[in-house]
Structure 1
Amino acid sequence: MTTRSPYNGPYRKLLLAFDVGTTYSGVSYSILDPGQIPEIKGVTRFPAQGRVGGDSKIPTVVYYNQNGELQAAGAEASDEGVQEKADSGGWTKAEWFKLHLRPKTTSSSGITHSLPALPENKAAIDIFVDFLQYLYACTKIYIQDTHANGVTLWNSVENLGRIEFVLSHPNGWEGAQQAQMRTAAVRAGLIPDTTAGHERVRFVTEGEASLHFCIQSGLMTDDMKKGNGVLIVDAGGGTVDISAYAPSASSRGFSFAETAPPQCHFQGSIFVTSRARTFLQSLLRGSKFSDDVDNITSCFDKTTKLTFRNMSEPQFVRFGSARDKDPKVNIRLGQLRLLGYDPDWLSPARLKHSIDILDSKDLATFFEPSISSIVQAISEQQKCARKPISSVFLVGGFAASDWLFTELKDSLKPMGLTLCRPDSHVGKAVADGAVSFYLDHFVSSRVSKFSYGARCFRVYDPKNKEHVQRSSSAYVGIDGKKHIPNGFEVILDKNTQVSETKEFTKSYFILSSDRSALKRLSIPVLCYRGPGIPKWLDVNPELYSTLCHVEADTTALSMTLTTQKKPNSRQIYYQLDYQVILSFGLTELKAQICWKAKGKEKRGPAIIVYEPDVAIHDIAKAVK
């Protein structure tokens, strides 16, 4: 564990880290008193929670009545009495809603069929708002009840707006998802909708938060101390996040650098359960237990999935009473008997014959796609990481599965990798790590996942083959020059290691015959998700998407522009030269607009506007 310095702020603050997971959620916090060394604490007691302890997390589940009003959340939503009320009152259950916020890219499109439908008239962001409110209310009660002078302590920070938040999210979430989460924090009443209020919310990827947790848990290996890298595998309910880091020299002293683009795969533990459900639906179809699939799946999820560790022995899902039996589908004494391993159980041919399904060895197969995905991702990270990797740390709720751990350990050994998992409460890694991210800030540089840039036009060059190929789209601009549209100017290349202080600048200009049209800029920042060096938007247009718009008020700049004349014409126009400055090295994108006035550089604030998440094909439609 590293030594933490005393907090040097001018006044007391409270830091809250909310880990809203796909299946379970948790809260960690730290009270920041000037001159005192901050400690990381966890909220370990929630309403209706049956088991209280250091690893306390609550189900990410809510119930709404027929009017769309929240009726129960968290552990309360799992209480038997609440479930009876839900059945009798026609309440609607919402779970796994976090995954509905995911980026709408081709890599995530295939999971839609696995997700429960959202309640009628509820968007995912609406449920996220309600759940944030619930976590905040529970945290308030917990701190007031467990700390000396807890009410006074809470009021001293809440009333003065001195509560700051860290919200964690999967590696694959982007700026649009961060913007939605910040909006949810505003709507939930956590922060005011002001610039100062927005700055009270910070974001961290689950991979980076998990790294901080591992460092604070004392998991620094001898190889890491020698400079070798480490892989963090955060296996959660919905996603598996893989991140590569290595010790790095820094002016701050002890720090880590990200050494490969982080990955995010939708192969968390819920998909093991989803595959089990598919199997059970086929197995029990036509039997008297066909209506019990939901209950049996739930029992599998809570018990058998976690305790499974030996594929050569049968496993049992206890779901009913001793009177429940049907030997034809392996049910006796209220238990469903599952066998071991057969990779062909899900093939269409076998699903046609129920007797084959009964004879198949099935349980390990539920895990296989997740395990294969993780091993492949680790292999890719190992190959592209900038420093050798020797250790892999497995954290997250799914890490509690002994089968997952054993299979990964055996698969990684031939790759020269050792796998370990923290002894204490791997499920709280993200929440505790998010607090450490704020306090300790161990990561000093990060790696770009994609290529980022902006649309541009290029002056036509008859000697350039690419220009000649696009001559049919050429046009004469108001400056009298022939231009080729749909160019792509890269601001930041994929797989570039970026320090937090590094700025990326690209020069642009806009031509307009109307000076007033130049009083405000709105520049789309595009993202290219494919291989190679992108140059044109009409090449693989499906691999481009709009990341955001950088907007700035350039009224003062526009008034300084001088008129220019189109050659051989009386038509006048204005040319506004500017630079877009982007900071990619932080956990959240930052932007500025820069220009020159009387030879001196001027910078103006810019805001980043994220559109509602648009599928990756939006650019493809625009260039056709």
Structure 2
Amino acid sequence: MPASIPRERLIVGVDYGTTFSGVSYVTTAQRDVKDITVIRRWPGDTDARKTPTRIAYKEDNPRLEGIKWGFQADAKVMSCAWTKLLLDRGSDSQEHDDPVLRQAAGSGIFHLPEHRDAEGVCEDFLREVYQHVTQHIEMKIGQGLFDVTPMDCWLTIPATWSDRAKASTKDAAKRAGFGGRKALGDRLSTIMEPEAAALAALKGYEAGESINPIKAGEHVLVCDCGGGTVDITTYVVFTTTPLQFEELCAKCGSTFIDRNLHKLMSEKFGAAFDKVPAAKKGPGSIFMKDFEILKSDFRDSAPDHVVELTLKMDLEESESYDPDDGTIKLTRRELRGLIDPVVLKVLQLVRSQAQEVQKIGQGKIDRIVLVGGFGDSIYLFERLKEWSRRELGAIIVCPEHPQSAVVLGAALRGLEGLAPRKRKCRRHYGVAVGMPFRPDKDPVQFRYQDAATKMDYCSGRAEWLLKKGAEITKDTKKIINIDIHVKQGQEKIAELELFSCNLATPPDRVDHERVTYVGKIRVDLTSYLDSDSSGRKDLKIGGKGSYSIAAEVQVEFGNESGILQFKTVIDGKEAGKTSIDFD
């Protein structure tokens, strides 16, 4: 690294959210969470902690001169919104999936332009964010210093996403520019969203920062209610100075109040609502902005209380609609009917988590911290407090800016290196292998004879490397021992298929309907074998020059990014190039 580059680095946290996205930054010369700056100036708005995750293209809007994004992509243009939810359509089926969303994601409601897929839209949006953020930081610290200061970027990713979705989102951020100044040493890392939220929550309540600080031995449940998901994770705090903690268990689900609203409107007003252009009723419209305020401020008030939403429809006057003002009237019962399913789901997840903590012998949850876009809901707070008073006895707290918890936590990871000492594996991971054939159990169609040993084997059996719920530390890795057969004149490449499963107990075979294909691990030993002939074992089959070599394929689960890493070891040394192809 050139001598002119300062010792300090820029730390940038990026929360790429379903409905809103945010960015924070700090330099390594600073050491306090209060030193982290959350960007509040965005194109189209000068005082907002987040910008809408929306982007509009000229291809969909001929009158536009170029791309409009965030607040600029308002109701007057056709924009791409909720695109993040399309990045992981092939992931494992989760226990708490939202069926309305699953139908919507496959029915074209989430708009994509003809010239870009979901990954491309993600890349384009993040490119606009990167350009805005770098310009913002440059204005604050000066171009000269910015041009010689390396940047560590921490991108938040849902913990429940498939490995393919995690990797493709990181790749999109790379193409957008994050971590792109290689000569300076810029780096791009990822952090799981619930982990980032937990860092901000725990740090915010440590001694000296709060009138009600966390204590060693506390069990803290962090409930992150975002625009599309709810992540419930419980941690045990070991020490507060320095902060050391471990993940005990986690649950996840989907929360789509906005989707519930559209469903109610369609049922209530039929074609009159359905025919309203998406620009008038979708993200960024006055209709949805009104609803954002209503759902945040909602209280369980008198039954006859009526609230109003603004939307012009071709409809005659009724008890529920005023055509002169273009206002929809919702009763308290109807509004509660939209919010209650989400609140009940959160309560269900929290109750399940509390039972699990007790089941594993960890006592009870002492504190519940609400963060995320819906985390500041007064109604959610009161319902949780009432439930906890009856069943749990935990205190319920919500930090000052709950919607910024994830983006603050991302910057904290880079600034202080904070991370839980242990995590829990979110799903089973395994490989397809051939095992000795069991006549009384294995399907005959999968029987084959090994050419070298002449023994009968069964293909497609699952060897589960890491079980769901297993502890993961930074050193956790699993080894797959393989014999790579190299035939004369052929490529020196071996391939293994990696699978995952979200069931409590994984099945015996990889072709089970609940087993998900993760990708193909590719071991390329060409450069290694061309320069090193040690460890080879000549084969009697395959002709002259054919041989096998014993190797260890290591799957690293403890990488701080949460994204799987791979390498191959032969005779104690890393050999060749090992990667995974998700396609």
TM-score norm. by structure 1 comes to 0.78
1:223 Cα deviation (Å)? Answer: 9.7
Please give the per-residue CA displacement for 1:131-180, whole angstroms capped at 9, x wherever unaligned. 11111222123223334xx22222222xxxx2221100222123212221
1:327 Cα deviation (Å)? Answer: 3.3
What's the counterpart of residue 29 of structure 1?
25
* Pair 1:257 & 2:249 matched: no
8 Å Cα contact 1:518-1:576 kept in structure 2:
no
* Pair 1:175 & 2:163 matched: yes
How far apart, CA to CA, are the structure 1 residues paired with 2:185 and 2:347?
Answer: 38
| 2:476 partner SS | coil
8 Å Cα contact 1:14-1:29 kept in structure 2:
yes
| Aligned partner of 1:371 among 339, 343, 367 | 343
8 Å Cα contact 1:523-1:551 kept in structure 2:
yes
8 Å Cα contact 1:70-1:130 kept in structure 2:
no
* Pair 1:305 & 2:295 matched: yes
What's the counterpart of residue 282 of structure 1?
267
1:237 Cα deviation (Å)? Answer: 0.7
How far apart, CA to CA, are the structure 2 residues paired with 1:43 and 1:534?
Answer: 47
| 2:421 partner SS | strand
What's the counterpart of residue 224 of structure 2?
234
| Aligned partner of 1:166 among 134, 148, 154 | 154
What's the counterpart of residue 584 of structure 1?
557
| 2:27 partner SS | strand
| 1:576 partner SS | strand
Q: Bigger CA drift: 63-72 or 230-239?
A: 63-72
| Aligned partner of 1:449 among 423, 426, 434 | 426
Pair 1:330–1:311, CA change in 2 (3 A): farther
1:431 Cα deviation (Å)? Answer: 0.6
| Aligned partner of 1:425 among 388, 395, 401 | 401
How far apart, CA to CA, are the structure 2 residues paired with 1:67 and 1:300?
Answer: 26
| Aligned partner of 1:272 among 254, 257, 280 | 257
What's the counterpart of residue 85 of structure 2?
99
1:258 Cα deviation (Å)? Answer: 1.1
What's the counterpart of residue 622 of structure 1?
none
Pair 1:572–1:519, CA change in 2 (3 A): closer
What's the counterpart of residue 184 of structure 1?
172
* Pair 1:13 & 2:13 matched: no
Q: Bigger CA drift: 374-383 or 68-77?
A: 68-77
| 1:208 partner SS | helix
What's the counterpart of residue 494 of structure 1?
468
What's the counterpart of residue 225 of structure 1?
215
Aligned residues: 543
1:214 Cα deviation (Å)? Answer: 0.9
Greater helix fraction, Structure 1 or Structure 2: 1
Q: Bigger CA drift: 105-114 or 182-191?
A: 105-114
Structure 2: runs of 5+ lacking an equivalent? none
1:95 Cα deviation (Å)? Answer: 0.8
Please give the per-residue CA displacement for 1:581-618, whole angstroms capped at 9, x wherever unaligned. 2221232222221223xxxx222364432414xxxxxx
Please give the per-residue CA displacement for 1:165-214, whole angstroms capped at 9, x wherever unaligned. 110022212321222122212322334498x9998111111100011111
How far apart, CA to CA, are the structure 1 residues paired with 2:489 and 2:393?
Answer: 61
Give, as a single letter, the amino acid of the residue that structure 2 aligns with 1:152: G
What's the counterpart of residue 212 of structure 1?
199
How far apart, CA to CA, are the structure 1 residues paired with 2:400 and 2:347?
Answer: 24
8 Å Cα contact 1:277-1:297 kept in structure 2:
no
How far apart, CA to CA, are the structure 2 residues paired with 1:236 and 1:19?
Answer: 11
1:414 Cα deviation (Å)? Answer: 3.1
Give, as a single letter, the amino acid of the residue that structure 2 aligns with 1:433: G
Give, as a single letter, the amino acid of the residue that structure 1 aligns with 2:449: V
How far apart, CA to CA, are the structure 1 residues paired with 2:233 and 2:510?
Answer: 30
What's the counterpart of residue 459 of structure 2?
485
8 Å Cα contact 1:62-1:70 kept in structure 2:
no
Aligned counterparts, 1:568-579, within 5 A: 574-579=547-552
Give, as a single letter, the amino acid of the residue that structure 2 aligns with 1:28: S
1:394 Cα deviation (Å)? Answer: 0.8
Aligned counterparts, 1:545-560, within 5 A: 545-555=516-526, 556-557=528-529, 559-560=533-534
Q: Bigger CA drift: 241-250 or 428-437?
A: 241-250
Give the share of equivalent positions with the same residue, in percent: 21
| Aligned partner of 1:146 among 137, 140, 143 | 140
1:236 Cα deviation (Å)? Answer: 0.8
Please give the per-residue CA displacement for 1:462-481, whole angstroms capped at 9, x wherever unaligned. 6xx43xx4345322121122
8 Å Cα contact 1:284-1:290 kept in structure 2:
no
Pair 1:549–1:57, CA change in 2 (3 A): same
1:439 Cα deviation (Å)? Answer: 2.2
How far apart, CA to CA, are the structure 2 residues paired with 1:28 and 1:429?
Answer: 10
8 Å Cα contact 1:550-1:606 kept in structure 2:
no
Pair 1:191–1:144, CA change in 2 (3 A): closer
1:14 Cα deviation (Å)? Answer: 1.4
Give, as a single letter, the amino acid of the residue that structure 2 aligns with 1:604: A
| 1:75 partner SS | helix
How far apart, CA to CA, are the structure 2 residues paired with 1:191 and 1:287?
Answer: 48
8 Å Cα contact 1:311-1:339 kept in structure 2:
no
How far apart, CA to CA, are the structure 2 residues paired with 1:548 and 1:249?
Answer: 39
1:364 Cα deviation (Å)? Answer: 0.8
1:377 Cα deviation (Å)? Answer: 1.8
How far apart, CA to CA, are the structure 1 residues paired with 2:39 and 2:287?
Answer: 30
What's the counterpart of residue 540 of structure 2?
565
Structure 1: runs of 5+ lacking an equivalent? 1-8, 87-91, 342-361, 613-624
Pair 1:585–1:223, CA change in 2 (3 A): farther
Please give the per-residue CA displacement for 1:405-464, whole angstroms capped at 9, x wherever unaligned. 2223323433315353433211111111101122221312111111112111113366xx
| 1:156 partner SS | coil
| 1:382 partner SS | helix
Aligned counterparts, 1:53-92, within 5 A: 56-66=49-59, 70-78=66-74, 84=76, 86=77, 92=78
8 Å Cα contact 1:523-1:549 kept in structure 2:
yes
| 2:422 partner SS | strand
How far apart, CA to CA, are the structure 2 residues paired with 1:287 and 1:494?
Answer: 48
* Pair 1:438 & 2:414 matched: yes
Pair 1:286–1:45, CA change in 2 (3 A): closer
TM-score norm. by structure 2 comes to 0.84
How far apart, CA to CA, are the structure 2 residues paired with 1:610 and 1:48?
Answer: 40
| 2:73 partner SS | helix
Pair 1:103–1:241, CA change in 2 (3 A): farther
* RMSD (CA atoms): 3.3
Q: Bigger CA drift: 101-110 or 130-139?
A: 101-110
What's the counterpart of residue 310 of structure 2?
319
Pair 1:282–1:46, CA change in 2 (3 A): same
How far apart, CA to CA, are the structure 2 residues paired with 1:36 and 1:10?
Answer: 17
Aligned counterparts, 1:376-395, within 5 A: 376-385=348-357, 386=360, 387-388=362-363, 389-395=365-371
